[in-house]
């Protein structure tokens, strides 16, 4: 029988060494933890001190003073340029188009000759009508001479009254035919005149739709060319129905409402005009009403169907409380501004705004004259934040800036 005690003693010694090793490792970890904790506390203390210093720093801002000034009530809109008159030039007779006498895009005046149609067939019709008229005029002259002779014979009781009345009726018949002949001559002459196509209005020509040598028909709807009247030209735009009352009030007073036309981006002013008419009803689907402005367009800056931005000036120099538009912020409760208090802190002030006029906005409620509102630096502000009002060289003219505080 073998003895197993040596293996048992060896196992016990291994377990003792494992236990001693775990105790040593645990002691080392404890020593490292207690040594690292003071450094962490120091970092937290430093971070808290830095945050406190940041909270005590003043935020540099630009501020503007609320001014009692004047403002122009201007209604912006998007409009479309339209020609005052548009005419499609068509032929009124059938025939061969033998000549075009215009250039595409040319400016023409009313009555200018644009094209010619072969006139020979219409000249023949006129000559025929003139010949028939001359023949009937000779018969009428002869019948009148006979009537004069019958008149003398009837007075001498040489002929019967029935014969005299018959001659008189023949003269009247020829007189009626004379009028028919004259109408035929006038009609033939009119048809001949239609072979020369002239401009019905002043305006600019478009691209030609047919070339010389083609047969044209009076029943064709395509026409030869389109003329658009561009001097003056019209701008059509729409405004919300809430703005109808002030516009009508000015028109009823006989005021002329200036209209400024800008490019599609709204940066470059293209022309100036005036309001000439308002539609007679409001569009129920959009709640807007349509207006038409007249622009002289002497330099042909505007073209029909061009999209533009329109600014209708309804009232000029209206007294108002104004601030720069950059001072107005938008929140969940509506527009507001950061008001600079006497203790160099800011507070949020809800306001009600009105008309915008070239970088300024009308304040209806919420502010008083000479109060200060923040114009720049609002992204770093909150209620009660400390601020330092500074000035800059590129400040807008409307902003009254305070000097730099020490």
User: CATH no. for residue 342?
Assistant: 2.40.420.20
Q: What is the 3-state secondary structure (H, E, C) of 83-128?
A: ECCEEEECCCCCEEEEEECCCCCCEECCCCEEEEECCHHHHHHHHH
Is there a single domain that holds both residue 202 and residue 289? no
Is there a single domain that holds both residue 251 and residue 296? yes
With a pLDDT cut of 90, the percent of the chain lying above it is 53
Most confident of 9-13, 19-23, 394-398: 19-23
Torsion region of 384: left, alpha or beta (phi above 0 gives left; psi -120 to 50 gives alpha) = left
CATH number of the domain within which 128 lies: 2.40.50.100
Greater confidence, 278 or 360? 278
- Total domains in the fold of the chain: 3
Name the nearest CA neighbour of 93 among 126, 59, 118.
Answer: 118
* Alpha-helical segments (H) within 156-216: 161-193
CATH number of the domain within which 245 lies: 2.40.30.170
Residue 15 lies in a domain: no
CB neighbourhood size of 125 (10 A): 17
Is there a single domain that holds both residue 265 and residue 328? no
Is there a single domain that holds both residue 101 and residue 194? yes
Picking from 268, 296, 317, the residue at the C-terminal end of a domain is 317
Residue 405 lies in a domain: no
Mean pLDDT over the full length of the chain: 85
Residue 148 lies in a domain: yes
Residue 398 lies in a domain: no
Mean pLDDT of 240-263: 91
What pLDDT sits at residue 56? 59
Q: What is the pLDDT of residues 14-57, one digit of tens each?
A: 667 777 777 777 777 776 665 654 544 444 444 444 444 545 57
41: enclosing H helix or E strand: helix 5-56
Task: For residue 197, give its domain range.
Answer: 92-227
What pLDDT sits at residue 34? 59
What pLDDT sits at residue 28? 72
Picking from 180, 198, 227, the residue at the C-terminal end of a domain is 227
Question: Tokens standing for 18?
Answer: 């494992």
What pLDDT sits at residue 332? 87
Q: Quick check: 350 pLDDT over 80?
A: yes
What pLDDT sits at residue 260? 93
Is there a single domain that holds both residue 237 and residue 364? no
What pLDDT sits at residue 42? 45
Q: Are 237 and 79 in contact (CB under 8 A)?
A: yes
Cα atoms in the 13 Å half-sphere on the side-chain side of 195: 17
Is there a single domain that holds both residue 201 and residue 169? yes
Report the predicted TM-score, pTM, of the whole model to 2 decimal places.
0.61
Mean pLDDT of 331-340: 90
What pLDDT sits at residue 58? 85
Residue 278 lies in a domain: yes
What pLDDT sits at residue 394? 40
Is there a single domain that holds both residue 232 and residue 210? no
Residue 250 lies in a domain: yes
CB neighbourhood size of 90 (10 A): 17
Is there a single domain that holds both residue 79 and residue 102? no
Residue 257 lies in a domain: yes
Is there a single domain that holds both residue 371 and residue 271? no
Is there a single domain that holds both residue 100 and residue 223? yes
Name the nearest CA neighbour of 117 among 191, 171, 32.
Answer: 191
Picking from 261, 286, 317, the residue at the C-terminal end of a domain is 317
φ, ψ (nearest 5 deg) of residue 35:
-80, -35
Q: What is the pLDDT of residues 277-311, one digit of tens each?
A: 999 999 999 999 999 999 999 888 999 999 999 99
What pLDDT sits at residue 404? 37
Q: Are 340 and 66 in contact (CB under 8 A)?
A: no
Is there a single domain that holds both residue 211 and residue 103? yes
Is there a single domain that holds both residue 105 and residue 182? yes
Residue 362 lies in a domain: yes
Q: Work out the pLDDT band at 354, boundaries 50, 70, 90.
A: confident
Q: Quick check: 257 pLDDT over 50?
A: yes
With a pLDDT cut of 70, the percent of the chain lying above it is 86
What pLDDT sits at residue 319? 84
């Amino acid at each position: 029988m073998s003895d197993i005690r040596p293996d048992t003693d060896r196992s016990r010694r291994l377990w003792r060494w494992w236990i001693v090793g775990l105790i040593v490792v645990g002691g080392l970890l404890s020593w490292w933890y207690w040594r690292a904790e003071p450094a962490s506390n120091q970092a937290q203390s430093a971070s808290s001190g830095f945050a406190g210093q940041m909270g005590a720093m003043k935020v540099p801002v630009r501020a503007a003073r609320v001014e009692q000034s004047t403002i122009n009530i201007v209604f912006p809109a998007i409009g479309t340029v339209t020609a005052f008159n548009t005419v499609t030039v068509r032929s009124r007779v059938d025939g061969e188009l033998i000549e075009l006498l215009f250039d595409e895009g040319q400016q023409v005046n009313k009555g200018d000759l644009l094209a010619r149609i072969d006139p020979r067939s219409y000249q023949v019709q006129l000559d025929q009508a003139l010949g028939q008229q001359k023949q009937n005029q000779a018969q009428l002259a002869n019948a009148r001479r006979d009537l004069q002779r019958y008149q003398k014979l009837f007075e001498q009781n040489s002929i019967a009254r029935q014969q005299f009345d018959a001659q008189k009726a023949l003269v009247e018949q020829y007189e009626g035919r004379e009028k028919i002949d004259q109408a035929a001559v006038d009609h033939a002459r009119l048809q001949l005149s239609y072979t020369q196509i002239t401009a019905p209005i002043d305006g600019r020509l478009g691209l030609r739709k047919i070339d010389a040598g083609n047969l044209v028909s009076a029943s064709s709807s395509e026409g030869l060319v389109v003329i658009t009247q561009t001097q003056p030209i019209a701008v059509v735009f729409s405004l919300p129905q809430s703005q109808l009352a002030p516009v009508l009030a000015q028109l009823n007073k006989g005021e002329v409402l200036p209209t400024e036309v800008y490019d599609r981006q709204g940066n470059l002013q293209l022309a100036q005009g005036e309001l000439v008419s308002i539609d007679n009803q409001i569009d129920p689907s959009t709640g807007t009403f349509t207006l038409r402005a007249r622009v002289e367009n002497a330099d042909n800056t505007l073209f029909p169907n061009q999209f533009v931005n329109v600014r209708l000036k309804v009232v000029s120099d209206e007294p108002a409380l104004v601030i720069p538009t950059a001072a107005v912020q938008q929140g969940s409760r509506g527009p507001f501004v950061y008001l600079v208090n006497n203790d160099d802190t800011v507070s949020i002030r809800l306001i009600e705004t009105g008309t915008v006029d070239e970088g300024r906005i009308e304040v209806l409620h919420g502010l008083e004259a000479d109060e200060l509102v923040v114009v720049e630096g609002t992204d770093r502000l909150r209620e009660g934040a400390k601020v330092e009002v500074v000035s800059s060289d590129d400040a807008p003219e409307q902003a009254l800036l305070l000097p730099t505080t020490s």
